Amino acid sequence: MVRDVSGREYLDFVAGAGSLNYGHNDPDMRDALISHLEQRGMSHSLDLSSSSKSAFLRAFESLVLLPRDLDYRVQFTGPTGANAVEAALKLARKVTGRTNVVAFTNGFHGVSLGALAATGNRHHRGGPQIPLPGVTRMPYDGYQGAGVDTADLLARMLQDPSSGLDAPAAILLETVQGEGGLNVASAGWLRRIAELARSSGALLVVDDIQAGCGRTGSFFSFEPYGIVPDLVVLSKSISGYGLPMALLLIRPEFDVWQPGEHNGTFRGNVHAFVTAQVALTKFWSDPTFTDEVARRADLLAVRLAEVADVVPDAVVKGRGMMRGVDVGSEELASAISRRCFGNGLMLETAGSHDQVVKVMAPLTTSDELLNRGMDILLAAAQSVGTGQSVGARRSVGPARDVLGASGLVPA
């Protein structure tokens, strides 16, 4: 729940675009942070070792990597997702001596120049007014309709010496496209892309910034598919408390950085290490947590199907607790999200035309609050989707702009 300046309460199903998977102000993370401050723990240590960093790394190794039989080195990059994507692309290029990166339609990887080159969205790409080179765009799974396996096209172009596709340093993807409209890649497609990366000598890079940290049900979004990326990017919910933190996971054989080669002042956000360590030990040492998330995700899917039922041609999208409804137009999605906001529910829209109403409730949301939010969404879809009075039914940019102007603070 968050409360605005006039004391009105809202259910927050935006959750920091996936940065608050454990909700606002988790009491154990808050206590750990307060205690760190009270004990005059360091707040900045450049990229040097610190007890907070060590504690996080130990938790990450024992609770995330070892149980999944994953062997990665952890690189702390600058604290934003885009910072970590930049590091991943730079490293893949350094490892392979190649320039080109394959990225996909509707992919979102951040808005600094290197990451933006891999981002599909025209609205963001238009910003810098300079070329965004070094990326070949390929169709994501499902982009050309259900009957077309877009991995065939990539396979063919990688094999054909005259396809014009320069040998890639990396194939970069999200397993569920968060900003791109909750498009879910199939297991078969992901496995084929992983195989194509291997056979073409490219590094497979999974951008798990939004889909990771439990959002799709498992810690990493790729776990159910048996693929092991060469590089993995995490940010958003890795600190657990909404604090800036990002990291790059590197298979050991690809750690070719020289010491300090990819540096940065804010690579060690000590406060984020403190809360991140609590997030891992509190939620990821408890096997019932993922069961609970799976159960809640099923409930969400059922409730979203009800929403889709009342909007003609609407489709439920996504996976785990990363789901929504494609209502077919930005106009409708925006009207629904505004109606929800007016009734005390914050949610965002996503997709190439902002036509997907996106539910990113914290993974820890109680059934009661989840149902309360979904009741509001269903009522909004009923009134708006059937064309009853909608209030201002005009298209005015993403819902995030509305939220930004509303002066909301966590309750």
Ligand X SMILES: *Cc1c(COP(=O)(O)O)cnc(C)c1O
Length of the chain: 411
Q: How far is the CB of 194 from ligand X (least distance, A)?
A: 18
Give backbone dihedrals phi and psi of 210, rounded to 5 degrees, phi first.
-100, -40
Cite the beta strand spans of 178-240 per DSSP E. Answer: 183-184, 203-207, 231-234
- Beta carbons within 8 Å of 51's beta carbon, 6+ residues apart: none
Tell me the HSE value of 100 on the side-chain side, using a 13 A CA sphere.
14
- Beta carbons within 8 Å of 270's beta carbon, 6+ residues apart: 36, 41, 42, 43, 44, 45, 50, 52, 53
Residue sitting closest to ligand X (CB): 81
Residues 151-210 that bind ligand X (CB under 6 A): 174, 178-179, 207, 209-210
Q: How far is the CB of 407 from ligand X (least distance, A)?
A: 22
By CB under 6 A, residue 108 contacts ligand X: yes
Count of residues interacting with ligand X (CB under 6 A)? 16
Residue type, 115: A
Q: Rounding to the nearest 10 degrees, give the CA dihedral for residues 372, 377, 382, 385.
A: 180
Residues 3-62 that bind ligand X (CB under 6 A): 17
By CB under 6 A, residue 356 contacts ligand X: no
By CB under 6 A, residue 217 contacts ligand X: no
Q: In terms of CB distance, is 85 or 336 closer to ligand X? A: 85
CA distances to 291, 309, 343, 366, 368 from 371, rounded to whole Å, are: 18, 17, 14, 8, 5
CB-based contact 340:380 (threshold 8 Å)? yes
Q: In terms of CB distance, is 185 or 380 closer to ligand X? A: 185
Interface stretch with ligand X, choices 28-36, 108-116, 316-324, 343-351 (CB under 6 A): 108-116
When binding is defined by CB under 6 A, the residue of 235, 275, 334, 383 that contacts ligand X is: 235
Q: In terms of CB distance, is 196 or 322 closer to ligand X? A: 322
Q: In terms of CB distance, is 234 or 384 closer to ligand X? A: 234
Instruction: Say which DSSP state 62 is in.
Output: I
Q: In terms of CB distance, is 311 or 360 closer to ligand X? A: 360
Q: In terms of CB distance, is 89 or 314 closer to ligand X? A: 89
Q: How far is the CB of 330 from ligand X (least distance, A)?
A: 20
Here's the x/- map for ligand X, 65-104, by CB under 6 A: it reads as ---------------xxx--x-------------------
* Secondary structure (3-state) at 253: helix
By CB under 6 A, residue 109 contacts ligand X: yes
User: Rounded to the nearest 5 degrees, what angle is found at the Cα of 313, between the Cα atoms of 310 and 315?
Assistant: 85
Q: In terms of CB distance, is 103 or 250 closer to ligand X? A: 103
Q: At what angle do helices 287-310 and 367-385 cross, to 10 degrees?
A: 20
Interface ranges with ligand X (CB under 6 A): 17, 80-82, 85, 108-110, 174, 178-179, 207, 209-210, 235-236
